[in-house]
Structure 1
Amino acid sequence: MQLFLATERLALRPFTEADMDIDHLLALDNDPDVMRYINGGRPTTRETIRSQTLPRLLHDHPCFGTRGYWAAEDRNTGAFLGWFEFRPLDDRSAAVVELGYRLGKEAWGHGYATEGSRALIDKGFTDLGVARVTANTMAVNKGSRRVMEKTGLAFVRNYTDDWPEAIEGSEHGEVEYELTRTEWERRG
């Protein structure tokens, strides 16, 4: 396993062609609770995982020289917990990255999202040339908002986006959070 980043409890590794055995991704994206704020909890097909999800997870970002999505595994057991996103918004510049996470329910409530997010933010500001980290979620997604706050991101704005299909809570809009390198250093 090629390791990108390790924390006390997590191993974050790039997705690889070996992940073409998509059962763990299929299980994650077919849990209605996990997908509640993403697509309203609707099921995801195996073909969608193969044709849309995997290409996104396997994409190399030239400005990073690496991927922008990381499989999250338990360091002790190797169990797949989900994934983290830490990808440049522009493939030509590492200045602004988007932070995201999708973890299975068995990983909820254990601090994994905060632990992995903090480690990625630290690596981004120290090793990857990141100047600003941004994260977005539905305004009603209190759990994800709390993770953003615990990792040091600050609320920037509420906004409304065009949803292809409205889902419960989308009428309340989205929220954006951010952390700049200057603010991270100040807190440091």
Structure 2
Amino acid sequence: MDIFMETDRLVLRRFTRSDPELLVELDSDPEVMRHLTGGRTTPRIRVETAVLPAMIRDYTRYPGFGAFATHTKADGEFIGWCMLLPEFDGSKDEAELGYRLRKPAWGKGYAVEGSRALIDYGFTDRGLRRIFAETMAVNGQSRRVMEKVGMRYEYTYFPPFAPIEGSEHGEVRYVLDHAEWLTASQRKNLHEQS
């Protein structure tokens, strides 16, 4: 296993060519895909020929970044992925935070734990100036994750995607700047020392 990072409860590793089944399973749950495609699942052929190859290519295109297969440390169960990735045409000192978890892993704090680890890594090891995340405005669960990791709401926008239920409310963007993260980290360290 090509381990990228470990947290208290999680192991994040790079995806490999032998992983299509994990992504097919993840993307075959209409509830997981509800705020992405309106519940349409990703066909196996698309996972095998486009989704997984793109994830693997990103490791070379953006060294030190990507979408990482996320497993529980206790039993090695695949629960989804956590991502930190620069935008294709974006600034090199900004990256997008993302996560997609299997339904049985929802509500256990895994998205928060994996996201915090990637945020710390992005600011500490990769020298990022800003990390952002986006989701549908109606996706309360994802927005709560963003807020719990210290991100703040920046704006709502209306992309030209095919409409799905809830898209009339737009997409929201949350951000966390290095200075904000540093201040919060220093406060946390002071609190832990007292």
TM range (shorter): over 0.9
Partner of 2:54: 56
TM-score, normalising length from structure 1? Answer: 0.93
Shift of 1:64: 4.6
SS at match of 2:87: strand
The alignment-based identity, stated in percent, is: 49
The whole-number CA distance in structure 2 between the counterparts of 1:66 and 1:121 is 13
Number of equivalences: 185
Partner of 1:184: 181
Do the aligned residues in 2 keep the contact of 1:148 with 1:177 (CA within 8 Å)? yes
Q: Find 1:28's aligned residue among 21, 26, 29.
A: 26
Once the two structures are superposed, residues 104-156 of structure 1 have per-residue CA deviations (whole angstroms, 9 ceiling, x without a partner) of 00100100000000000001100011110000000000000000000010000
Please show how residues 57-76 of structure 1 align to structure 2 within 5 Å: 57-61=55-59, 64-76=62-74
Structure (1 or 2) with the greater helix fraction: 2
Question: Which amino acid is 2:87 matched to?
Answer: L
Partner of 1:79: 77
Taking structure 1 as reference, are residues 90 and 48 closer, same or farther at Cα in structure 2, changes over 3 Å only? closer
Corresponding position: 1:45 with 2:43: yes
Structure (1 or 2) with the greater strand fraction: 1
Q: Find 1:174's aligned residue among 171, 174, 192.
A: 171
Do the aligned residues in 1 keep the contact of 2:2 with 2:14 (CA within 8 Å)? yes
SS at match of 1:102: strand
Do the aligned residues in 1 keep the contact of 2:10 with 2:114 (CA within 8 Å)? yes
The whole-number CA distance in structure 2 between the counterparts of 1:61 and 1:80 is 20
Please show how residues 93-104 of structure 1 align to structure 2 within 5 Å: 94-104=92-102
SS at match of 2:173: strand
Shift of 1:33: 0.5
SS at match of 1:99: strand
The whole-number CA distance in structure 1 between the counterparts of 2:132 and 2:90 is 17
After superposition, the CA RMSD in angstroms is 1.6
Question: Which amino acid is 1:166 matched to?
Answer: P
TM-score, normalising length from structure 2? Answer: 0.90
Taking structure 1 as reference, are residues 93 and 161 closer, same or farther at Cα in structure 2, changes over 3 Å only? closer
Gaps of 5+ in 1: none
Taking structure 1 as reference, are residues 49 and 145 closer, same or farther at Cα in structure 2, changes over 3 Å only? same
Do the aligned residues in 1 keep the contact of 2:17 with 2:53 (CA within 8 Å)? no
